[in-house]
Structure 1
Amino acid sequence: MARPDQPTDELSEFAELLTHEQEFTRARDRIDPEVRSARRRRGLIIAAICVVLLLAAVGGYIGWALTAPVDQPEVTARAPQVPTVEAAAIAAPLSGASAISVAGADAYLGEGASGIWSSSGTGDPLPIASITKLVTALVILDKAPLTSADDPGPTITFTKADHDLYDRYYVQGATIAPMPTGTSMSLHDALAAMLIPSASNYAEALSSRIFGSQNAFLGATRDWLAAHGLTGTTITEPTGISPRNTSTPADLLTIGKLAAAHPAIAQIVATPSISLPGAGQLYNTNGLLGTAGITGLKTGTLGEGTSSLLYTATLDVGAAEPLTVTGVVLGGVSRESVNATVIDTLHSIRSGFHQVAVATADQEVGTISTPWGSSARLVVGQTASIFTWSDTPIVATMDIATPPTYTDGTVVGSITWTAGPNTVTAPVKIEGSIDQPSEWWRLTHPSELGSLLDAAG
């Protein structure tokens, strides 16, 4: 009887399981809306947090990008090229010998310019002709000084023996000046008659009168030469008519400076002409006086091929002070050629000093550029030139500083040029302006901005 009941038990178990499943489904249906609602709220909260974090990040980036420091503009500067100047060529005689000394120009011409600055030909002794009379005058004034240029000194009265010198030198072809017996004149005027027309009869008469004899004069002359270190000079008589009166260019420069430093001699040799009682109107043999700045000193001629000139000149070349030139030419072929050489020499010295243009206003000397594309030029603020001699090297140096702003016209430094003793400076300024980077450039170029730490200061 039991077996027929078995299917009924299985159906009961199935019905019971079905009942439990239905109850679970009804319970689940009651719980799921709450779970879903909680999940939605949690998702919204997470989304909101993400949005806030994103907005904070974006806002922080924008704030940093708009305030972060940028690199200073790149400045490229270069000094303008210094112009090339040709060296001055100093004119020299084609024959004979010459030497030049220039005082007041050592800073331009180099140390030693006041000694022998330039020379040509031999340095050996050559005949000096009437340049001898400068030595005669210096030796006489060493024995009988004149205290000033206007001091007349003692009175000289010429005798018949003095007058006879006129005829003796006349037949020798020497330059002479009248000297009537009994004529009286001051030592100053007698020296003028000796030096201005180069009167040989006055040279012997004065030297004999002051020293008592020619032997005494020649002895005093040797002592005077030795005292001044003029070992290259030989004087055998007071006029220069003898070719045995010789000197070197170096010694003659010293003699010229001694003569130019003596007030009375300097005044006399700078006088173009003079009228003296008994002697009449006398004219200076130095036809270059007043030409090319020449102020003295003495000519000398013994004949063809023996023309000489010991000269002084004052040259205003544009320097702080005029230059004092002492020069000599010995053994020129003629008076005309010697004079032409001296004028050419002085002209070549004068023209060797010049203003050299080193920059013009608004000349570009550099650029300013930025990563964001803004640029400007660096230009010289004014035209500049420098005074110098010949091809003296000109050195340019630049000093550029970082300006507070990069605006048009801002002076950012200077250029200084140096040549010899002179310097000149010109400002360097900005032409154009450097604009600040745009906000868009800042936002789109983060790698070219400073760090957050930099922005924070």
Structure 2
Amino acid sequence: MSELSTQEADAEEESAPDDTPEGPAADAPEDAPGRTPVAEAGARTAGDRAGEVSAPASGAGQEPGNAAPAAPADAPGDAPAATEAAPAQAPAATEAAAEAESAAGSGKAPGKAPEDTPQEAPDAGLEDTGVHRAAVRKSLLRPLISDLPAERPVGRTGRPAAGATPAWAASTASGTPAGTDAGPDAERGEAVGPDGTRAMPVPQVLPAGSGSTGATPLKLLAQLTNTPPPKQTALRTVARRFKIWTPLVVLLAVIFVVVQAVRPLPATSLQLTTTSSYAFAGAPLPGVMPWPGEGQSVAEVEGLGSLGVHGAQNPVPIASLTKVMTAYVVLRDHPLTGKQNGPQITVDKQAANESSSTEESTAHVTTGQKFTERQMLQLLLVPSGNNIARLLARWDAGTQEAFVTKMTSAAGSLGMTHTTYTGASGFEETTVSTAVDQLKLAREVMKNEVFRSVVALPNVAVPGVGKIYNNNNDLVNPGVVGIKTGSSTPAGGALMWAANKKAGGKEQLILGVVLQQHGGTTVNDSLQTALDRSQKLIASVQGGLTSATVVTKGAVVGEVHDGLGGSTPVVAGADLTAAGWPGLHSTVTLTPRAGGLPHSAKAGTVVGTLTIGSGTARVSVPAVLSTDLASPSFTSKLTHF
């Protein structure tokens, strides 16, 4: 091929549209043997038919410039024979074949068209039948298409021909872009493109079900950037998890701090830290007391505790001790306080008639006399008038039987489970009880100041009756304040007694009961025996009662807890001095002040009460803060759960 023809062919390729075939076929020598040129669009062949191919006259060796006679239009079978000799490495598209055909028909070299040759319509001179035209083109292009390689090469522009597999896709498997010559780069395994360019292989993504889990975004990015994914190590895993969880942990920590800071403070509490009991030194008093050798006996110091119980507690007749329950029910139903005398009560005929009886103790009254409730109680308890007991029962309940029902109910409410009342006076031997039950009644009735004032009288002057004397001879002894005697043949001698002794800075009330005491030959002798034995018990208790300083002022007795782990010591505000007897164990308690404890307060603030004993023997002193009570700190709030 001449240099001019080559330049013209290059010029033609540069001016061709972008879809002009590129690659080795475009660069093939124009004088390739056996090549069947295709006429350009609009060019005519020797037979004056547009788009037809002129077969070479003599096969191989035909010069490109010698035009061969055109094949008949109705003989398409000759076209394949003329084109089979084309080299396999020179594939061409439809436009290139048409260009070669035009060059062969005009007797010029391919790619060279005379400037003065008029351009006609592509389908000029062709039959009107579109089917004939399509058949001719198909017959001409079939051998060319069949010789195309499976992968279309890449031309100088780097763009694949229409319908061909892109070079970048084909290069994925082979590593060398189609249409490029192998060179030094190819030997190194690099994909070399036109003009020395290199194509980037597309990462291969395994299809689902191929045994691979598919490409993750990280691996895909690594393939696109030719950067391998970082190797998974324990350190990277920990770092990644740290980045994920750290914000969440910080958020939770902030929420926790806020909640702990604003949540309400727990209530403060007061706790006793000193010993909860105190034992008085010395030989235990109950063991050395002169307890009667017969019957039943019991004694206690109110509020301090029991001194002991002696004898079997079986129900026995109690004689006039019954009148204590009569007085209790009357004062409960018709209470008196202070110096009140109460309503007037008229003496009925039955009470007047019973006053002359010689078989029982009575108070001498006449029909129609009026006495106050207080005076009636004096006539009941000081001379122990049986007729007055039955008169008060009828005045209170209408009948003695109805009143006895009240007495039984009252006994049940006091826990006197071994007591039975059958009358208001105790004259009936069917009225029975125990020393322990009668002590329960004595403890309760001595709370009434009117009753205490009456039973403590050694004698009393009642208008219309005169001066009467108490048959409780023990009342002449120091500190004895009652309570009631009883005597009968079935009951023997009995006494419910009370005495006082000052100890621990206050008067202590001593209570006791003795039943079934016998002596001498008469009932009065038995009563005197009961009085004597009771007095010995009273004297021993009075002598044994003592006082002791249980807690000194300023001693730590407790702590105030703020509920968050903090505590403030509490001390006694004064000496705690208690009464007791040798061997007695008294309970010590620390009670918070009314209204609750503060969260903060100054030293010396009263926060509770320190107490020993109970009832009338109870002794208390204030409990105060030793140091300032401070509100819980922010750190304490955070650590509080």
What letter corresponds to residue 504 of structure 2 in structure 1? A
- Pick the aligned partner of 2:309 from 119, 124, 133: 119
Alignment correspondent of 1:248:
434
**Which amino acid in structure 1 is aligned with residue 352 of structure 2?**
H
Give yes or no for the alignment of 1:324 onto 2:513.
no
Structure 2 matches for 1:369-384, cutoff 5 A? none
Instruction: Specify which structure has the higher proportion of helix.
Output: 1
Is the contact between residue 429 and residue 490 of structure 2 (CA under 8 Å) also seen in structure 1? no
Question: Which structure 2 residues correspond to residues 253-332 of structure 1 after superposition, within 5 A?
Answer: 253-303=439-489, 306-316=492-502, 318-332=503-517
Higher RCO structure (Cα 8 Å, ≥6 apart):
1
Partner of residue 183, structure 1: 369
Q: Residue 212 and residue 99 in structure 1: after superposition, are their counterparts in 2 closer, same or farther (change >3 A)?
A: same
For 2:473 and 2:494, how far apart are their aligned partners in 1?
Answer: 13
- C-alpha displacement of 1:391: 5.6
Aligned position for 1:343? 535
Q: Indicate the larger mover: 274-283 or 202-211.
A: 274-283
Distance 1:178 1:388 in 2: 45
Pick closer, same or farther for the CA change 1:304–1:388 going to 2, 3 Å. Answer: closer
| Other-structure match for 1:134 | 324
Give the whole-Å Cα distance in 2 for the aligned partners of 1:306 and 1:236: 19
Question: C-alpha displacement at 1:309, in angstroms?
Answer: 0.4
Deviation of the 1:205 alpha carbon: 0.9
In the alignment, is residue 91 of structure 1 matched against residue 290 of structure 2? yes
Question: Residues 127 and 247 of structure 1 are in contact (CA less than 8 Å); yes or no, is this contact kept in structure 2?
Answer: yes
Taking the aligned partners of 1:354 and 1:152, their CA distance within structure 2 comes to 38
Instruction: Verify the 8 A CA contact 1:104 1:322 in the aligned structure 2.
Output: no
For 2:499 and 2:584, locate their aligned partners in 1 and report how far apart those are by CA, in whole Å. Answer: 24
**Structure index of larger Rg:** 2
Q: Distance in 1 between matches of 2:377 and 2:300?
A: 26
Letter of the structure 2 residue corresponding to residue 242 of structure 1: E
Residues of 2 paired with 1:215 and 1:93: CA distance?
35
SS in structure 1 at match of 2:312: coil
Larger deviation, residues 295-304 vs 325-334: 295-304
Q: 1:290-321 CA deviation, whole Å, 9 max, x = no partner?
A: 414111110000138610000111112x4333
1:101: which partner in 2?
Answer: 300
Work out the CA distance in 1 between the residues paired with 2:451 and 2:579.
35
Q: CA deviation at 1:243?
A: 1.4
Contact 1:158 1:179 in 2 (8 A): yes
- Cα distance between partner residues in 2 of 1:229 and 1:355: 32
- TM-score by structure 2 length? 0.40
Q: Which structure: greater strand fraction?
A: 1
- Which of 386, 408, 414 in structure 2 is aligned with 1:222? 408
Q: 1:320 to 1:122 in 2, by over 3 A?
A: same
Whichever residue aligns with residue 424 of structure 2, its letter is P
SS of the residue corresponding to residue 343 of structure 1 reads: helix
**Secondary structure of the residue that 1:289 maps to in structure 2?**
helix
Write the deviation string for residues 173-195 of structure 1: whole angstroms up to 9, x where unpaired: 11111111111110110111011
Once the two structures are superposed, the pairs formed by residues 398-437 of structure 1 within 5 Å of their partners are none
> How many matched pairs?
270
Which structure 1 residue ranges, 5 or more long, are not aligned?
1-83, 106-112, 357-385, 394-419, 422-457
CA distance in 2, matches of 1:355, 1:262: 27
Partner SS for 1:99: strand
Alpha-carbon shift at residue 392 of structure 1 (Å): 7.2
Conserved? CA contact 2:381–2:484, under 8 Å: yes
How many Å separate the matches in 2 of 1:336 and 1:387?
A: 31
State the one-letter code of the partner of 1:103: E
Shift of 1:350: 3.0
Q: TM-score, normalised to structure 1's length?
A: 0.55
Matched with 2:82 is: none
- The 3 A distance-change label for structure 1 pair 86 and 129 is same
For the aligned residue pairs, the C-alpha RMSD in angstroms reads 2.6
Seen in structure 2, the aligned counterparts of structure 1 residues 160 and 92 have a Cα distance that, compared at 3 Å, is same
Distance in 1 separating the partners of 2:546 and 2:411:
40
Write the mapping of 1:159-170 to structure 2, written as runs, cut at 5 A. Answer: 159-167=348-356, 170=357
Task: Indicate conservation of the 8 Å contact 1:99/1:328, yes or no.
Answer: yes
Whole-angstrom distance in 2 between the partners of 1:222 and 1:352: 37
Shift of 1:135: 0.3
Please tell me the residue identity of whatever aligns with 2:347: F
Task: Give secondary structure in 2 for the equivalent of 1:117.
Answer: strand
